[in-house]
A and B are shown apart, each in its own frame.
Chain A
Amino acid sequence: MTTINTVDKLSKYLDKIVKELPKLRSDVASEQVVNNQKMEDYLTELREYEQEIYEIVKQKLAAVTPFDENPAVAEKYEESEKYRAIIKLTGKDEDFEERFGFDRTVYEIGHAKDVDRVNEVLKDFIIDMEHIGIKLVGSNFNYSTFTQRYMDAFFENMNNSRYLLIMKNVFNSIYWECPLLLTHLELCVKNLITNNKKVIIRHINTLLDQNLKEVDSTREDIHDLYTKTRIEYEDMRLYDPYNLLDYFDNNRQETRKFYTDSDDFKAVLNTVADANEYIHASRDDKRFMLKSIKELYYDVLEYQKVEKFKKLFKFLADIYENRDNIKDNLKEKQKEISKLEKEKAGLDRKIHSLVRKRNALSIINAKDRINDINDKIKEIDGQLEIKIGEIKKNHDDLNFEFFQNTLCKTFNQSTSLFEAAEFFSKFYGILYNQVSADNMIERDEIEPRVDEFRHIQYMARSTIMKSIPFTDTKAVKALIEKKYSLYNMKFELASIDDADFAKFLDNLDTLVKYGALEESVLDIETCDMILKFKDYEELKIKRIRENLQNTEEI
């Protein structure tokens, strides 16, 4: 065998082996044994080369392989989340429930899908109130005898690891006496929040000021600071070499679309621009085109958001259109609720008095009298249930009227989609009901939808939604198409439910990543090479494991 001391000789030697391999197959067993031995000899030799060269290539590729996301990306994310948490605390005093998340607490108690969720929300509420400085005990939940009973058991067991199971049994035992237990609890918690309004507002404002001081910002500047940081984070994440490589690792078939001279790339680019023009453009023009495509991508994401929630925007627009017919009955409604609450308190007192009387009687001598009292209690309990139902209805009506009135007072013709979404997000219950009213939305999708809508106010890239009036959702599509036609980009936005839309968005996503790769220290050839080397390493490990297993079996 000739000495292999150059790459050229090694390459030719490998060609020779590959060429010889078909000839080393024989139908005659004895010949095959000889051929096998020859191939085993080749393998022994080649593996020795492989191991030595593997070490060199591994070292070379290690120098260009990003092994982890730049820690600055996660730090930037944490920073933007910190600002977002502060933004949640901002707002008017009258929005204090929403600022502290209590709007959701109240709604979830009244509309929970399962008992465990009710108990979790109640526990969080108790903890939150304690943070505010209000230590709640069972007697604070004396809205009705049933809430009192339930919460006495709750406080007794809330630190038990099996409290969810225990409370399920308690709920079961009370439910048959009071099917409206959740409504009682909802109104009870709502009253506790309202009764402690001043303390809660003071706490939120102190917390807000402390947090603003910590990040050296103000109520006026925090939104801009968040937007800036969030965009920086999104870009850092997008351009991070590790993330790009990770994307290719998880989407191996996609790499072919990233070779500029490939038909796949041209096909993707042709969906928005002229690929040939791009290929022959100057470096500056190419960069401008890719920058425009990135802007288009984020604009299309906004279009998708507007389309997805157009029914909600229409709901707001309809109320606004009808503003002349909406009367301000808030004071009357509040009076009505106070009146009903007083009547309820009267019924409560009657029951307590009857219970005291009953307890003073002897079960032996006054059996008939006790039965009379029990009948009376039952009758008043019935009246109480009706009263609580009325209070609940009036609260809901008041909440909706407050929502309508505030909308009509604060909205005008130029209120943007973004402002409208921000406003609607403050009314968790009404938003939730409105999303649920859409028959096209599955039950399991309601909550994520509500959360997604409420997240619009934290979308850092929201140029369109901040510019277009909330009554004009239809304008978004045409405006995007028109803007980019001025950049020589031609396309037609399909409806978001259309498969063409998903494909279009997918293509834009590819082009945005292509643009990121162009700005990165990596290139697609290097990515492909790193990933193929990774595959080889995995095969090597697999082979070592198999050999070990075989040795153990022997």
Chain B
Amino acid sequence: MGKVSASLLEEIKGLSNKEAFDIYSKLFETIKSTESNIVEVNPEDLKPKRTKRGSKNKK
């Protein structure tokens, strides 16, 4: 991912206070929502499930 576009920042500088704040607020809220959507995964759940003794996988 590259640097933030200079033209975007220039455009924001030229916005009214409210418009600039609105886009910042939207960005901030999106970050908050994204953070809250990350679910911690239990490493145990990632291990392959143990098969029953005597199953056909067992030689």
- Choose one: A25, A36, A53; the contact of B24 (CB below 8 Å): A53
Q: Tell whether A57 pairs with B21 under 8 Å between CB atoms, given A14-B27, A18-B30, A33-B46.
A: yes
As a 0/1 sequence over residues 11 to 34 of chain B, the CB contacts with chain A under 8 angstroms (1 = contact) are 111010111110111111011111
| Number of interface residues, chain B, beta carbon within 8 A | 35
Q: Tell whether A33 pairs with B23 under 8 Å between CB atoms, given A21-B33, A50-B28.
A: no
The docked-state distance in angstroms from the alpha carbon of A57 to that of B23 is: 10
Q: Is B7 an interface residue (CB 8 A)?
A: yes
| B4 shortest CB reach to chain A, Å | 5
| Number of interface residues, chain A, beta carbon within 8 A | 46
Count of chain A to chain B residue pairs whose CB atoms are closer than 8 Å in the complex: 109
| A206 shortest CB reach to chain B, Å | 58
The docked-state distance in angstroms from the alpha carbon of A29 to that of B31 is: 23
- Choose one: B1, B23, B42; the contact of A53 (CB below 8 Å): B23
Which chain A residues numbered 10 to 66 have a C-beta less than 8 Å away from chain B? 10-11, 14, 17-18, 21, 24-25, 29-30, 32-33, 36, 39-40, 42-50, 52-54, 56-57, 60-61, 64
State whether B5 touches A21 (Cβ < 8 A).
no
Chain A residues near B25: list those with CB within 8 A.
532, 536
Name the residue of chain A whose CB is nearest to the CB of B45. Answer: A29
State whether A52 touches B17 (Cβ < 8 A).
no
Q: Tell whether A32 pairs with B17 under 8 Å between CB atoms, given A14-B26, A42-B34, A56-B9.
A: no
Q: Tell whether A56 pairs with B13 under 8 Å between CB atoms, given A14-B27, A61-B21.
A: yes
- Choose one: A24, A45, A529; the contact of B17 (CB below 8 Å): A529
As a 0/1 sequence over residues 505 to 518 of chain A, the CB contacts with chain B under 8 angstroms (1 = contact) are 00000000000000
The docked-state distance in angstroms from the alpha carbon of A463 to that of B41 is: 71
State whether A43 touches B23 (Cβ < 8 A).
no
Q: Is A5 an interface residue (CB 8 A)?
A: yes
As a 0/1 sequence over residues 522 to 541 of chain A, the CB contacts with chain B under 8 angstroms (1 = contact) are 00011001001100100100
| A2 shortest CB reach to chain B, Å | 11
The docked-state distance in angstroms from the alpha carbon of A5 to that of B7 is: 6
State whether A61 touches B12 (Cβ < 8 A).
no
The docked-state distance in angstroms from the alpha carbon of A476 to that of B43 is: 76
The docked-state distance in angstroms from the alpha carbon of A45 to that of B4 is: 9
Chain A residues near B17: list those with CB within 8 A.
60-61, 64, 526, 529
The docked-state distance in angstroms from the alpha carbon of A43 to that of B38 is: 10
The docked-state distance in angstroms from the alpha carbon of A229 to that of B42 is: 69
State whether A49 touches B4 (Cβ < 8 A).
yes
The docked-state distance in angstroms from the alpha carbon of A81 to that of B9 is: 51
- Choose one: B1, B30, B33, B39; the contact of A36 (CB below 8 Å): B39
Chain B residues near A5: list those with CB within 8 A.
5, 7-8
Question: Which B residues are closer than 8 A to A by beta carbons?
Answer: 1, 3-5, 7-9, 11-13, 15, 17-21, 23-28, 30-35, 37-39, 41-42, 45-46
Q: 4 nearest interchain CB pairs?
A: A29-B45, A5-B5, A57-B24, A14-B30
